[in-house]
Amino acid sequence: MEYIHNFKINPLLIVNGDWNRPFDKEQYFTKYISEWQPIFNDKFIKVFQDHIKVVMVFNKPTNWNESSKGNSVHVDEGGIICAMNVVLPTTDNLSLMQWFKTDISQEELLIGSNSNYAARWNTNKRWTSDQFKLIHEDYVDNRVTLVRVDIPHKVVISQSARVCISIRLKEKFNDWKIATRYVNELFQEFHHI
């Protein structure tokens, strides 16, 4: 099973060079960006705009605590299987995305506005690391990738400040190969402009 597809595209080729990158701010945040077009260059917008549902930006400052709640194992809500992540270069490019096998139910692992995921971290019934078996991991900094978000996962951040621009597509895929083919075709169109 494939958990990540690397498009082998330099993320700086699709991000607008004038975008005010939030890693200059030494604070953690996760935001939905309603006016996301200024993040990307015109060529990327021309090809991808009609396919994008929502864009999120994850900003992690230097020395972000990798065991924090923000990096806990979860499954994304909304019935989606993948996200397209554009991760800007970091000082060391050592952040890892990890996927796990667990007996904890999908419903408990869901994270998002309609989930009760946060309650798990505010009780005495916390999950423990032995409830999760690592099944795959890959480096994710300085890449444009499609990643599985329907399988329990987390990102282990290195010590570098880090910005991940996570794109959720309008198309809801139920097959990973179809999803990768769909985005590959968009990038082929991007390369021919």
59-81 confidence digits (pLDDT tens)? 988 887 654 444 478 898 888 99
Residue 28 to residue 146: CA distance in whole angstroms:
23
User: Which pLDDT score, from 0 to 100, does residue 63 have?
Assistant: 80
User: Which pLDDT score, from 0 to 100, does residue 71 have?
Assistant: 45
Q: Please, what is the Cα angle at 77 between 112 and 6, to 5 degrees?
A: 110
Number of folded domains that form the chain: 1
Domain of 25, CATH number, reads 2.60.120
Percent of the chain with pLDDT over 90: 62
- Within-domain flag for 122: no
Mean pLDDT of 94-100: 94
User: Which pLDDT score, from 0 to 100, does residue 46 have?
Assistant: 98
- Please check the confidence at residue 31 and state whether its pLDDT lies above 80: yes
Average pLDDT over all residues of the chain: 88
Which residue would you say has higher pLDDT here, 82 or 130?
82
Which residue would you say has higher pLDDT here, 107 or 42?
42
- Within-domain flag for 74: yes
Residue 30 to residue 49: CA distance in whole angstroms:
21
- Please check the confidence at residue 125 and state whether its pLDDT lies above 70: no
- Within-domain flag for 184: yes
Residue 46 sits in which domain range?
4-111+130-191
- Within-domain flag for 116: no
Annotate 108-126 with b (16+ C-beta within 10 A) or e (fewer): ebbbeeebebeebeeeeee
- Please check the confidence at residue 109 and state whether its pLDDT lies above 70: yes
- Within-domain flag for 105: yes
Compute the radius of gyration of the chain from its Cα atoms.
Answer: 16
Bin 83: left if φ > 0, else alpha if -120 < ψ < 50, else beta.
beta
pTM equals 0.90
CB-side exposure of 159: number of CA atoms within 13 Å?
A: 0
- Please check the confidence at residue 119 and state whether its pLDDT lies above 70: no
- Within-domain flag for 47: yes
Tell me if residue 120 falls in helix, strand or coil: helix
- Within-domain flag for 117: no
User: Which pLDDT score, from 0 to 100, does residue 69 have?
Assistant: 46
- Within-domain flag for 34: yes
Mean pLDDT of 153-167: 90
Which residue would you say has higher pLDDT here, 172 or 14?
14
